[in-house]
């Protein structure tokens, strides 16, 4: 219960949520473009490449928005 009160009072919560949703939408659109324009046989390899490249980028995007000083 205390966690949700701190989460609502967190200023960067909405910014992090917006960035997370936009970045996941970008990943989904890239994967759908790969599926449409590439061969369906090679989709798994492209999916793994995009997944491994997008996870560090995801952490890089959300890291400056994180507030580690608060004990959430």
Question: What is residue 40's predicted lDDT score, i.e. its pLDDT?
Answer: 64
Distance separating alpha carbons of residues 52 and 48, to the nearest angstrom: 6
Distance separating alpha carbons of residues 13 and 70, to the nearest angstrom: 12
Q: Would you say the C-alpha torsion 16, 18, 24, 29 has a positive or negative sign?
A: negative
DSSP codes joined into one string, 54-67 = HHHHHHHHHTTT--
Share of residues in the chain with pLDDT > 90 (%): 0
Question: Is pLDDT above 70 for 16?
Answer: yes
Average pLDDT over residues 40-68: 68
- Domain regions of the chain by residue span: 13-62
Mean predicted lDDT score pLDDT of the chain: 69
Question: Is pLDDT above 50 for 1?
Answer: no
Distance separating alpha carbons of residues 12 and 22, to the nearest angstrom: 15
**Per-residue pLDDT tens for 26-36?**
878 877 777 77
Question: What is residue 63's predicted lDDT score, i.e. its pLDDT?
Answer: 63
Tokens of 57: 């980028």
């Amino acid at each position: 219960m205390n966690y949700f009160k701190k989460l609502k009072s967190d200023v960067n919560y909405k910014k992090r949520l917006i960035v997370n949703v936009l970045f996941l939408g970008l990943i989904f659109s890239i994967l759908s473009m790969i599926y449409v324009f590439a061969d369906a046989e090679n989709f798994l390899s492209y999916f793994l490449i995009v997944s491994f490249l997008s996870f560090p980028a995801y952490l890089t995007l959300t890291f400056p928005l994180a507030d580690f000083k608060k004990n959430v």
